[in-house]
Amino acid sequence: MSDTLPDRLSVNAKSPYFDATVLEREVGILFNGVEKTNVEEYCISEGWIRVAAGNSKDRNGNPITIKLKGKVEAFFKETPETA
Name the residue type at position 44.
Answer: I
Every domain of the chain and the residues it spans: 8-76
Residue 19 is predicted with a pLDDT of 93
Residue 83 is predicted with a pLDDT of 47
Q: How many helices and strands (H and E) does the chain possess?
A: 1, 7
Tens-binned pLDDT, residue by residue, of the chain (83 aa):
567 889 999 999 999 999 999 999 889 999 999 999 999 999 999 999 999 998 999 999 989 999 999 999 999 987 666 54
**Alpha helix positions (H), the chain:** 20-23
